[in-house]
Amino acid sequence: MRIDVWSDVVCPWCYVGKRRFERALAGFEDRAAVEVVHRSFQLDPSRPKGHTQNRREMLMAKYGLSVAQVETLDARMEQTAAAEGLEYHLREDGVTGNTFDAHRLLQLAGARGRQDAAVERFYHAYFSEGRSIFEPEALTALAVDAGLSEAEVREVLAGEAYADAVAADMREARTLGVNGVPFFVIDHRFGVSGAQPSDVFEQMLARARSHRAAS
């Protein structure tokens, strides 16, 4: 069974969704036969590379929110994450930026069998440690933490390797009608949109298993 997961590493609900999905998968009796593939998605592909912006200011401008409203949203998000065993620190001085290079490294990690470790490291760095994931040096350090070769990471970041793979993932997401993440596709047939409760993922896994058995 193959499960494709479209997500962006600056999406707070994507990390929550990852944990909820993992909880469902841990109790799935066919877990050993499941392949999870992380697919690239950018919430804001128009954001220029090399430029960062204060995350709260971005949210205020994008959604017309006040400082107090953004602070309330961040506090609620931190509580939601905590309920899943995640420690979010959505700081006042946190930044956001273009995630294309981060996704290129996640494609590299997939080719080297380290994709889940890299996804996890990027999420934890950004949401729990308050670290940037937008500059080459920051990305290099985190990718090495996830088990990738520093020389290979630097080579990828210095060129355009895996850019086509990232773009292909985003085209496929548009074809599927994905306009928000996380988005899960089980066996190229069953879709689950959003950071659903674990029992929803359990139901979809069971449904996919039953379909495979009947086909």
CA distances from 178 to 62, 72, 195, 211 (A): 20, 28, 14, 23
Q: What is the CB neighbour count within 10 angstroms for residue 189? A: 12
- For position 146, what pLDDT does the model report? 98
Q: What is the pTM of this model?
A: 0.96
- 10 Å CB burial of residue 182 (0-12, 13-18, 19+) is buried
Mean pLDDT (whole number) for 110-136? 97
State the residue for tokens 């069974």. 1
* Rounded distance between C-alpha atoms, residue 181 and residue 95, angstroms: 20
Mean pLDDT of 142-148: 98
C-alpha R_g of the chain: 17
Structure tokens at 127: 């949401």
Q: What fold does the segment set 2-214 form as a domain?
A: Glutaredoxin (3.40.30)
pLDDT (average), residues 151-162 = 98
Measured from the Cβ of residue 121, the count of other Cβ atoms closer than 10 Å reads: 23
Residue 98: predicted pLDDT: 97
pLDDT tier for residue 213 given thresholds of 50, 70 and 90: confident
Instruction: Give the mean model confidence (pLDDT) for residues 113-139.
Output: 97
**CB 18, CB 123: distance < 8 Å:** yes
What are the pLDDT digits (tens) for 45-72?
Answer: 999 998 999 999 999 999 999 999 999 9
**Where are the chain's structural domains?**
2-214
As a whole number, the mean pLDDT across the chain is 96
Contact 173, 183 (CB under 8 A): yes
Highest-scoring range by mean pLDDT, 20-24, 45-49, 186-190 = 20-24
CA distances from 170 to 5, 105, 174, 205 (A): 12, 15, 6, 24
215 pLDDT more than 80: no
